[in-house]
Each structure stands twice: as structure tokens, then as C-alpha cells.
Structure 1
Amino acid sequence: DISHVRSLTNTHSNLIGGLGSLTNYHPGLVNVKRRDDGPWFKPLLDSTKDPGAGAITDFENAVTYAAKSIVAGSEFFISYGDNWLKARSEYDSLPTSESYRLVDKMISYLFGILSIKGKFEYFKMFLVLLSSLPNIDKRIKSIFQTIESVEDIVNIIIGGGAASLEKRASYSLEWLEQNGRCLDHIYSHLSDMPSAGRGAFSRRFIKKGEVVITSPLMAFQKSHLEEFYDKNNKIVPPPEFESRQVLLNYCYSHPKSSVALFPLTHAILINHASVRKGSNRHPNAKIRWANDHTETQHLLHSSLELVKERKAARPFLEFIAIRDIEPDEEVLIDYGEAWEN
């Protein structure tokens, strides 16, 4: 997965888009990592000639790779670092990677001592005693509470540690066929349109009416993408140069809305086409809300206040082929007349 870094014009922070942005954090189930040799700064456009320069990112090659063998149907997890959890009070009872390592050692020691007895009751009793010790924190106690049977203990010993008790870390291929959404119909390549940078190209033949790609959306306040911050993260008057963040160019929004929606898949690569300005490039896809996604439909009928409260809420957007799309053809949508003007 080669994701494209969205450079921000007013800080040194970056947001990695593409399929890599879908990887969640689980400190005990990390199976992918980001390569240290990327992203690369590779200017695509000449800022003295190309009108699109500055509207697209010049960073690429943020690679996500498998850190271990991954069974088909497993979810990808990456490490944000234990400090990410420790810095958020709302997650003070969630285990860190160190918590899992300590529990795995405790279980191994207990197993060696109590295996001759062969009774789970003894094992459970020791776990209760350990939980009552004053120096055992809430993170470790929360792991102890997941151990409910002899099978759980065996899974910890031979199946990859206490984190392996997480039942929702993988799904059967049958379940994915019924409930999953295909994300590899398109791939990244340089567009042949002037000043367009990279584009999304069809990996295979896509029939009219089929879903090209589905993308969950991350919500931002527009004002946060238009303000300028100093080194202390305080809002200051914008400088003479453009202060709006590059990220804003990849978001969808309504002119009267205060919210900007950022796609979390390769859908961010889909470029614009229309014949309104004399171009001969027609769009071959369109966007719509995911009609069969329950959370999306719920959010569309919710108040803005409720949407803000649900920080993890992700509405889904679908990109639909409006005609047959051939393999290796660039996928294009109409951004709208307001965007062109």
C-alpha cells in the first residue's frame, strides 16, 4: 500500500491518506509498520508554470508493509505508540503494549506453577489476587477480565498472547464476501491531464452502475483547515502566502456547511473532468452516499451536534461508474461548477 502524504502548508505535520490511513491501532495486535525511508518529496508540477502547483501534495511513497505473516481476513493494526494512549485520559483503562507484555509473562509464570493442579479455579483465584494488588494498574486489570476459561489461557500461551483473545481482529472470507467492500478496483498513477498530478486508474473492467470504490470520510471543521498556527499551536494572523492547508483540496463539502469531509481511501486520487470550460474530458463516475450503510444513513439524519459528539463516526461515500470503464482508464468525477469557478 503506497499512501500519499497530505502536506500541510502551515505546520510540519502530515496526514497520510490512501489505504494506509484505514489501519487502526491495537497495542497488542500490531502486524503492519510504516517504512522509515518515506515519504519522499518529489515535486510533480513547476510552481512557476503550472496553475495546479500548491493544490496537490508533492510527497509520496509512505509505504505500509506487513511486519509479520498475516492470515487472510485479519485486520491491519499499526502502532501509534504507548504515549498516544497515555496522553488521552479517556483511554486510561485501555492496555498498552507494555501492559500486554507484563500480562503474558504473568500468565506464563502462573501456568508453569499451577499446571500440575490442572484446575482453572486456582488460576482464576490467582488472577483475582493479582488484580487486588495496589501496584496493578487499570490497564492490566482490564486484560485479566477478558480471561474467562481454560481455552483462553491456552490461547494466551500458544496463540500469541493475551491480545489474541480479541475475537473481532479477524473475519472469515465468507463474512467479508457478504459484508466487506472492495478497495482495489483503482490504483495510483500519474495523470495525463495538465496540472492534475496523480490520478486513480481502473485496475479492471468496471460496468456502468457498479461501485468503483467506497470510502469512509473523516470530518474536519473548515475553519481548522484555514487558520494559521504558530510553533506553540496557537492561532495567529495568516502570513502573506497561502495559509489554507493542502488537505482542504482533497475534502468534500457544501458551501453552507462548516464541515469538510476527507476520504480515507484511494478515492482522494480521483480527479475532476467536465466539458464546461471547453475540455473534451467527460466524467465516467459520480459520487453518492452509501445507501446500504446503516451508520451513514443515521448520520445524514442527525444534528450537527450529535455528529460532533460521535468522534469515531464515519459516513461512507460511494463512487459509481456512470458508463463502462476500461482497464487502466483514469477514473474521473465532476467536482462541480463552483469548484471550476
Structure 2
Amino acid sequence: MIGSNNQRCTRFRFIYIFLLCALFHRCTAVSDEEAVCDNDGTCSLEPLIPPECQLVMAESTVPNGGWGVFTLIDRPERGTPLLYGDVVVQVTDLNVTYAVALQRLLDEYWWSAEETGGFYEGQQVLSSIPGIGMLANGLLQENNVLPFVPMVDEAGLTRTESPGAGAITHYHNYTWFVKKPMVAGDEILVNYKPDRFPERNARIQQSPASLATRRPLEFLRQHGFCLDNVKPGRSILPDAGRGLFAARKIRQGSVVLPVPVMAITDPRALDITRVSKGGSPVDHFKQLLLNYCFGHNESSVLLYPYGPGMHLVNHGGGQYANVRLEWDTVPNDVSLTNLTQWQDPQAPRAPKFLLKLVALRDIAVGQEILLDYGPDWIEAWVHHVETWTPASPGKHEDPYTPSYVMDDVVKVLRTQEELQTYPYPANIFTSCFYRYQDFAHSTHNADPTALVTVQWQQTRHTFELTNLRPCTVLERDESKGLFTVRILNRLGLSANERVPSVHIVTHVPRKAIRFSDKSYTTDQHLKNAFRHPIGLSDDVFPDQWKDLKVKDS
């Protein structure tokens, strides 16, 4: 009888502990495992990091570096992709009055649009590269990966047919490739140039010669978060564009993705006001970035997520949602005042705010990852769909044609003379890949009005996006497929890349000439584009940040 009671007690204690593990998704007895449950309620312990996982997020080896990205496998071959490509969100013409509310993002995380080809989107453009671009650390001139140009397209959401037009970024598949062979445990380091992220570089101790940038695999598997459970693809949802899909089976209760977030303490920082030539405001917009932020209707605080994948997670309401967001560590001790103070670049680094995307049920390979965006977002989207009307050209304008479509269908480029009779669509102009400093030493002329002619040559850096600039086609040699062009300057070019004279370049191949969209003509600038943050539920959004909450009388 005593033995039977002891067995019952032992069995009850085991069940109680196991239920706690299942409830909190992690067992303290086995730190590198978590409790996951099948849909029928059967639970088991599984590793936090799937055995197939090849890339993780963990604490960086770089002092004061925050999060970092690490490889779990050897990567001996140069030129192989590190992970699926990033999306890029172009941020145009920031509201300088309120930009202090996102100062940390400006100083430490966002890239120049020269890197991503987004410089034509506006007069002043910054690029958010929320995957590897924001998550990985860097050391001055010490990098083991290099990015390649993003793809640009509307993902089927045309402005004449879809209410989703302008609601997603067109820039995607910005892929990072292995530059130097790596061994398992190495930290991924992106290229930090001396003039990039000066505040962050000043805080990070730049001592690559003595700095160990490798962690033990045991540490990474115990304390890291897998980054390749998912992969991008075309969404199955109408008007959604791209989406995120399970790359392997994901068990109920396991972490699909880590979701670090940065606070934007004033939503007016994402307002855009365009002015007329006379200085009067003419248009009011919201940055496209707003659609990728988390928010709450009782708070002025926005949370901008970064890390691979989250920007591709679409809305699935009710029973269609298969993931939820929860805090890894709840920031209960962080006040709204703290958030505002941490925007100061001179202030101590803000704590790492980390959400997790957790599976609500088993997710099969190839199934789309869907998150419930909340009732406020749903109401805003339904209203947008009901009131949306297709964009139409003005009375004397041609229909809009995206530049990437022009590149696909137009092989014979028209000369400047031919354009007088047969113009391109009003939003289109031609750009050329040309690196002036390769020729500057031989073309310098004291007379800024002098005509200078050089022959186009391809060098190592010619096809980098920083060397794309406006040009006009003057002559065409159809037999050789070569063109003579006039090279022009654009906003954002460095001083040593600005041509000082009438600059003619001959023998330019078709591959060095592409179509570009004029500033403010792409879909993200549409006046009727949808804008609304993703809603965080009451139980997730911290109460102390709800500064707009109506107090009970």
C-alpha cells in the first residue's frame, strides 16, 4: 500500500513538472530542450535548436554589440548564400522635427540607400535591412559576408487591380554571401565602413586582432534562436504579396523566429509632409515602415521588429493564425521615460527587447506562417478595401509602368531624339552603371563647360549600385549592341563621383543601362496606399507604455 502511494506521488509530481514545462515552453531541468505538444495534447521534450538548424541568433562576441548571428556549420566555399534574402524598406525624407524618436535606428541600424539602390525613391533616403543587415554585427573592415543587389517588383499587387498596392516593400531578396571561409561557431560580421554607424562604432571596442568572434556550439544551441526554420515565398493570401513559410516541420509550442524590437517613441516620426515649390504643405503621408511596426491603440509607442523573416509574416485572423507573439523577457521594469531617454545616442545602450514568434499548433513544411494582427488592423484593412479605388493617370499622363517591367520588355533603347516622338512612360528614365573615378584622372578639365568623351570600361566595382546614375542615350549602334550616352549627376553621389562637365561615354553595353522610376512615382508613394501598424494584444503590450489609455474615473 505504501509502495503504491509512493508510485502515485512520483507519477503525480512528474506530470505536474511536465505540465509546467509545457505551459512555459521551457524546462529548467534540461536547459537546451523545450516542452512541445502535439495537437492531441501529447507532450515531449525536444531541443530548442532543431538539429538541422544552420544559423542562429545569440549574444554577440563583440563588446557592447547586443545580438549577433552565428553559423552552426562550416562554410568553406566563398560565394554561397548565408540565408534567404532580406527585404529592404526604403525610408524617405524623414520628418526632422520628430526624427529624434527613432534616433537609435538612424545612428546604429539603418543603411545608406546607396547600398540598396533605393536612392531614387526620394530626396533623402535611408534603407532598413531588417534581417542580417540589422541583426548582424560588424567590425571596421572586418567582414566575412557581402550583400548582393535586391530584387525589385510589386509581387503581383498592381496599382490598377490590388488594394494591397503600395502596402509592401518592392525591395526583396537582398542576399548575403560568404566572403571568407567560416567554421561552425563563427559570428557573422557585415562590412562596417569608418563613416557608417559612427555612434555604434564609437561604443563598440574595435580590436579585431585580439577579439575572439567564435562561440562554442554548445553555448549557441543552449542560448541561441534558430533563424532558418522558415523561408520566403509568394503568399497564398490575396493582396498580400510575399509571405513566410515553414522550411521544416515546426512543433506546437516551439519558437518559430526570434523577433527583437526597437522602440519608436513618437509615431509622428513616421509622418511625411511634402511641400510645394512655394513652401506650402501639399500632401501628408505615412512612411511605409509603419506597416511593419507593432503598436497598440492605447499607446503612442511603436515597436519596430528586426531579424530575418518577421517582415514577411502576413495576417491570419482567428483559426487561420498559427503563431503568436510573446515576450522572451517581459520588460515590466522599463518605463516610457526610459524608452525616450534611450533614444539619445550618448545614453547607455537600451536593454535588448525580444519577442518570440511561437507556434500555436504543428506547422507542416511549406505551410504559410500567419499571425493575428488584431481587431484594429482588421477594421482598418476592411475599410481600406471597401473605399479603395484603382490609381489612374492624369488627363495628359501615360499609364504607370514599373521600371523592372521596362527592363524585361524593352531591348532597343531609344535615343534622345527618338524620345521626342516616342517618349517612355512619364515615370521612367534611363540610368547607367558608370564609375567616374576610374576615369577622373584622365578627364579632369578646369573648364566646367568643356565636352569630355571617354570609352566605357568595366572594372571590378562598375556594377555596384552606388555607381548607378542618370544618363541619356544619344546614339545607338544596333549591329554591336552598344550605345553612346551622356552621364548626369544625382542626389547622394559622393564629391569624387560627380562629373564636372558635359560627360559623354561611348561603347556602353545594354547590360550597363537600366530603366529607373522617377522619385515619388513608385507604389510606396501612392496617396491611397494602406498604412497601419500590426496590433499587439493587451496581454503582450506592456501596461506602463499605454500612455493614451483612458483612466477609470
Indicate whether the TM-score tops 0.5.
Answer: yes
1:68 aligns with 2:180: yes
Deviation at 1:257, TM superposition (A): 2.1
1:270 aligned residue: 313
Deviation at 1:83, TM superposition (A): 1.4
2:326 corresponds, among 275, 281, 288, to 288
Q: Is the 8 A contact 2:87 2:311 kept in 1?
A: no
After superposition, residues 35-74 of structure 1 pair within 5 angstroms as: 35=148, 38-44=149-155, 45-74=157-186
Q: Secondary structure at the match of 1:84?
A: coil
- Structure with bigger strand share is 2
Q: Secondary structure at the match of 2:311?
A: helix
2:235 aligned residue: 191
1:303 corresponds, among 303, 317, 335, to 335
Q: Is the 8 A contact 2:154 2:241 kept in 1?
A: no
1:226 corresponds, among 262, 268, 271, to 271
Aligned mates of 1:245, 1:183 — CA distance in 2: 27
Aligned mates of 1:195, 1:55 — CA distance in 2: 9
CA distance 1:273–1:22, shift in 2 (3 Å)? same
2:202 corresponds, among 68, 87, 91, to 91
CA deviation map 1:73-132 (0-9, x unaligned): 1111112311136x549828954xxxxxxxxxxxxxxxxxxxxxxxxxxxxxxxxxxxxx
Given residue 127 of structure 2, which amino acid in structure 1 is its aligned partner? N
Q: Secondary structure at the match of 1:328?
A: coil
Deviation at 1:3, TM superposition (A): 0.3
1:23 aligned residue: 136
Deviation at 1:228, TM superposition (A): 3.8
Q: Is the 8 A contact 2:133 2:190 kept in 1?
A: no
2:43 aligned residue: none
- Structure with bigger helix share is 1
Q: Is the 8 A contact 2:325 2:357 kept in 1?
A: yes
The alignment covers a number of residue pairs equal to 254
Aligned mates of 1:182, 1:92 — CA distance in 2: 27
After superposition, residues 24-173 of structure 1 pair within 5 angstroms as: 24-27=137-140, 29-35=142-148, 38-44=149-155, 45-84=157-196, 87-88=198-199, 91=202, 95=206, 163-167=208-212, 169-173=213-217
1:333 aligns with 2:371: yes
Q: CA RMSD in A?
A: 2.5
CA distance 1:286–1:90, shift in 2 (3 Å)? closer
- Identity, % of aligned positions: 33
Deviation at 1:17, TM superposition (A): 1.9
Q: Secondary structure at the match of 2:295?
A: coil
Find the structure with the greater CA-based Rg.
Answer: 2
Given residue 291 of structure 2, which amino acid in structure 1 is its aligned partner? N
1:14 aligned residue: 127
CA distance 1:237–1:80, shift in 2 (3 Å)? farther
Aligned mates of 2:254, 2:91 — CA distance in 1: 34
Given residue 224 of structure 1, which amino acid in structure 2 is its aligned partner? A
Aligned mates of 1:46, 1:93 — CA distance in 2: 44
Moved more, 42-51 or 16-25: 16-25
Deviation at 1:312, TM superposition (A): 4.4
Q: Secondary structure at the match of 1:165?
A: coil
CA deviation map 1:315-338 (0-9, x unaligned): 111111111111100010110010
